[in-house]
Amino acid sequence: MNDQNEEKRLQELAEKWLNGSITPEEEKEYAAWYNKIEEGAHLDIPLASGPEDLRAQIYARIRARMKAAPPIFSLGFVWTRAVAAFLILGGSAAVYWHWAHPHPSSTTLAHQPVLAHDIKGGKNGALLTMAGGQTILLDTAVNGRLFAGGQVAITKTLNEVDVSATDQPSTPGLLNELSTPRAREEQLVLSDGTRVWLDAASSIRFPGFFGARERRVEITGQAYFEVAKDAARPFIVQVGKASIEVLGTGFNVMAYPEENTLQTTLVEGSVRFCTDKDSVLLDPGQQSLLLSNGGIKLVKDADLDLAVAWKNGVTAFHKASITTIMRQVQRWYDVQVTYEGKISERTFTGEIPRDANLSELLKLFEISKIHFSIDAEHKKLIVMP
């Protein structure tokens, strides 16, 4: 088959994939074309200096194909003809999804195969524990005033929880706590106007009002901050024995105990990451990594989109192992992940909306010959070779 006929055939298969009419035999034919890469076949791409250059050139062709696709590719969440397969190169796999809108429509998602027993992604919700011991489950709380007392008022709106000081005594108040279990996230506005996005399996401890010298909160897990400017009172985020000092900025902190590093990624402004042994000043676009040995590594050209993808409604990973990705899956889909047989050593790159069902995320790994079994009733996921 010459290149022109092959391209026409691939377009035909892609359209069938999108509208749900592709047969199992045609699906195998479609995926097999990409699998030729493992066998040394080329994609009319010039020779590259190494696997990374080759991968970048292939990605460029994928993006070019997306732009050249017919109008059907602009509908909600769809799989482009460059999708539906993994690119296996140098022990790595690149997974690509494309959608035109941040939230998939039920119409387009209906074309995607899903498991009979599936697991949905997380949603807004958290447990609010006041300093005096009162607890409020935000999942079921109605919008409006949730709490008022001790110079503090807590109000729930459609998308966030607002904290305000009804009176300001000379000393700061006791700490309240907002905590998210797995498969929940929440947004919080502190009394100074600072906005906080709290990821799944995370928590923030905060006063109802801040003192005259500083604004200090404590977090676990992952959070994104947009700090209200106040030159007289630096904002300090305490993360275990480390701290992040800032006047006014936007930054992400990832401090899950099961991850290898504590990551602070600066989007705008300026922050200083500190431990009892060392400190580093971050400029926008930089990331600090607190390593397990206590050292601090500075990444000068951090992937900002990757760091804040969760806050923007996307599950994303870049050159990540299957075990790293599954840790995200555990937190967002609230499943227990176990492994059978040898764990793949390949790495994967990709992204998908957070409101996608678990089966939609797993389907592309299946194409790369990594298989799964979902026990939705007991919220278990088994990863198999």
Average pLDDT along the chain, 385 residues, taken 10 residues at a time: 70 62 70 47 39 46 44 28 31 42 31 58 93 89 88 89 78 84 96 96 94 94 96 95 92 95 96 94 96 91 96 93 95 95 88 91 82 90 90
CA-based nearest residue to 349, from 306, 383, 311, 320: 320
CA-based nearest residue to 270, from 314, 231, 215: 231
Q: What is the dihedral of CA 149, 153, 156, 159, to 10 degrees?
A: -150
- In this prediction, residue 169 carries a pLDDT of 61
DSSP SS3 for 231 = coil
- In this prediction, residue 17 carries a pLDDT of 56
**Cβ atoms of residues 279 and 241 within 8 Å:** no
- Asked whether this chain's domains 3-120+307-384 and 123-306 adopt the same fold, the reply is no
- Provide the b/e sequence for 243-256 (b: ≥16 CB within 10 Å): bbbbbbbbbbbbbb
What are the structural domain ranges in the chain? 3-120+307-384, 123-306
The H-or-E segment that residue 51 falls in is: helix 51-68
Rounded distance between C-alpha atoms, residue 41 and residue 187, angstroms: 48
Rounded distance between C-alpha atoms, residue 236 and residue 238, angstroms: 6
Q: Which fold has domain 123-306?
A: Jelly Rolls (2.60.120)
Which token pair is 241?
């024995």
Pairing of strands 235-239, 215-226: parallel
Rounded distance between C-alpha atoms, residue 154 and residue 364, angstroms: 43
pTM for this model (two decimals) = 0.73
Tally Cβ neighbours within 10 Å of residue 203.
18
Q: Which fold has domain 3-120+307-384?
A: Phage tail protein beta-alpha-beta fold (3.55.50)
